Structure 1
Amino acid sequence: MRSTQRVEGMNAYFNIFLNQKVRLYEFVAQYDRALAKMRVNEAETESKIENSFPVLTTPLRSLEKHAAELFTRKIFSLFQHEIRKEGKLFVMERVQLEDHRTYRFGEYKAPTCTWTVEYFPANITMKCCCLKFESFGIPCCHMIAVMKSEQLMCIPPSCVLQRWTRRGRSKCQQPSLTQICSTLTQTARFGILSSCFSEMSYYASHADKDFEEAREIAFQLTSQMKKRWAMRKEGNAEAGDKNIAPKLYGVGDPNVVKTKGNPGGTSSMGKPPKPRRCGYCRSIGHTKRMCKKLASSSQREGSNSDSEPFMNTELDPHTDDIDELPIYPNDPV
């Protein structure tokens, strides 16, 4: 369900920039605008985290301060809410076992609701029956109550999910060029370089000295890459058209796929067209109008009808007009 919600949230974000009647070239431009806005918002959030510190408002100042230094701003607000919920809990039972201690907590004005937390002092790990840490990745209020009972001054490493920390991105290894597919096109390389230099441009634009230094380095690097590109272009032109790699820019034509439906005998896809047949002799190569057999048979029928004697036609008693009666050559007038 969480993966489906993530996809639906991304669709809702892109619906701000796209609609059903957008053209293909407009879609590419709007898609780049959406990604640029996401990068700018992310860079702005990271700058706010690095250059500011949240206000501490709970009595557990040591845990709250450590969470502010450890988590991102949004995760810290969720952790702060769990600290406020901890004020309603009280210890109902504390059991000391061989290798761990078990705490059972109740809630103020709701003593029937209880939660059990197991605390292992050897490796400073906790396990709560509510399973909020396993679901969301942040310590629940019951774990925070155990931290307060055990007089812990900071959050244990076992209760910290690395992806929610402020340094979570730096821990991730960026894929090297050898790990990327060898058929990477110029468009994909352009997108990767744009993403890399976008963050640098954001930070360099805040100070005059940084701006001048970044612009000078960018100008030198651009001149160097431009000379290399010109040399490769001249070398490919001298080597011939066969050695020039195909360039793929922008959006290409979509792949041709089979039509939907039954691919059995009723489908006409992939079959040669049926030849036209004559409606009389069922032969291939002509139609009924040009059929010789039909012409010869009609001639024979005409000759047979001329040799046959005329037959007398009986008069219709209901016919009074003589002009309506058939007249034959051998009949007397």
Structure 2
Amino acid sequence: MHNLDRALKEYRNNELIADFKSQCSEPVMITSLEVYERSASCYFTRNIFKKICNEIQRVGALNIKVLSITLDKVEFSVTALEDPAKDRRVKLDRSKNLFSCSCKLFESRGICCSHVFCATKFENILEFPDSLIYKRWTKNAKNEFISTEIPVNDDVERVLKFRVGALASNCNKLCDIACKDLADFDEVQSELVKLVIRLQSRKQGKSTPNVDVEGINDPFVVKSKGAPSKRSSWRKKRACSNCHKYGHYYKRCPDLMQHSVQGNPCDRSETNASAKDSGFSPERFANSSRSF
């Protein structure tokens, strides 16, 4: 079941990509019959358009001649340039603009064959005939069928997907119609804005967020959570190494200054001098050796 679900998701994703390419991109014209190519690109999807282009390319290797004309009905004989024995019969009803070919490609696959394109070229028909457009292969094939039956007793996710698909189908058809005229575009745009405002007013008491139609304001500034700043007003004070009190250090200690005034401790210069006198000297060593 998981593999089946994965395969369905991949299939639907490929279908969405193909629909996007068909709706939002224009193919490159590669044949000399650009009139038929451009008409086919407007109606058919990208995959069907490639197959139709292959049929249009084969028109250059075909020969055509008129067999019979009866009122508005004409019958043609289309043969290949390399194989004249292979004969195809194409019938045309000029009053109804209907084509039929003996190869039966349109009846079997829904694609117009090269023999019919050769007949339309011979008749100097510049527009793609509506009788040769198979609705199944057109870009708007999904818009033709819009189901209004909502599934009952089913999961919420499937119901939501069904609603989104139905609304998207209607919106695509509406956009395709309204974008071709400026007046229709303005009317649809204003109606959509009014509809959005009316639906938002109904949801005011619910938990759904209310989106401002006029614009989105700046968000509120919130103090970020993180490490505190390294700059701090508290600073460790230095203590005296003699009395272990704060506010002064060893050289400015009041206890030492008081003892120095009384004369108890000796000065550092005097202690250094006495240390020098008690130290080793060569003269003192020489005098001691002579006396010995």
TM-score interval, smaller chain: 0.5 to 0.7
Q: Which residue of 2 aligns with 1:83?
A: 56
Q: 2:70 aligns with which of 83, 90, 97?
A: 97
CA shift, 1:43, in A, is 1.5
Aligned Cα root-mean-square deviation (Å): 2.8
Q: Deviations over 1:28-52 (max 9, x none)?
A: x433332222222222211122221
Residue identity matched to 1:38: Y
C-alpha separation in 2, matches of 1:186 and 1:195: 11
Is 2:12 the partner of 1:39?
Answer: yes
CA shift, 1:186, in A, is 2.5
Q: 2:133 aligns with which of 156, 160, 172?
A: 160
C-alpha separation in 1, matches of 2:65 and 2:86: 11
C-alpha separation in 1, matches of 2:97 and 2:38: 20
Q: Deviations over 1:220-251 (max 9, x none)?
A: 79x669xxxxxxxxxxxxxxxxxxxxxxxxxx
Q: Do the aligned partners of 2:146 and 2:166 also contact (CA within 8 Å) in 1? A: no
Q: 2:108 aligns with which of 135, 143, 147?
A: 135
Gap change, CA 1:172 and 1:224, over 3 Å in 2: farther
C-alpha separation in 2, matches of 1:168 and 1:42: 13
TM-score, scaled to structure 1: 0.48
Q: Deviations over 1:123-168 (max 9, x none)?
A: 1001111111000001101110111011111211111111101111
Q: 2:157 aligns with which of 190, 199, 206?
A: 190
CA shift, 1:192, in A, is 4.0
Residue identity matched to 1:63: Y
Q: 1:148 aligns with which of 121, 133, 139?
A: 121
SS of the equivalent of 2:78 reads strand
CA shift, 1:96, in A, is 1.3
Q: Do the aligned partners of 2:29 and 2:38 also contact (CA within 8 Å) in 1? A: yes
Q: 2:84 aligns with which of 111, 132, 144?
A: 111
Q: Do the aligned partners of 1:43 and 1:199 also contact (CA within 8 Å) in 2? A: no
Gap change, CA 1:198 and 1:30, over 3 Å in 2: farther
Correspondence list, 1:5-16, <5 A: none
SS of the equivalent of 2:86 reads strand
Q: Which residue of 1 aligns with 2:214?
A: none
Q: Which residue of 2 aligns with 1:298?
A: none
SS of the equivalent of 1:111 reads coil
Bigger CA radius of gyration = 2
Q: Do the aligned partners of 2:64 and 2:119 also contact (CA within 8 Å) in 1? A: no
Q: Deviations over 1:268-321 (max 9, x none)?
A: xxxxxxxxxxxxxxxxxxxxxxxxxxxxxxxxxxxxxxxxxxxxxxxxxxxxxx
Residue identity matched to 2:129: P
SS of the equivalent of 1:86 reads helix
C-alpha separation in 1, matches of 2:166 and 2:17: 10
Q: Which residue of 1 aligns with 2:28?
A: 55
Runs of 5+ unmatched residues, structure 1: 1-26, 202-212, 226-333
C-alpha separation in 2, matches of 1:129 and 1:88: 18
CA shift, 1:196, in A, is 4.8
Gap change, CA 1:73 and 1:41, over 3 Å in 2: same
Residue identity matched to 1:119: L
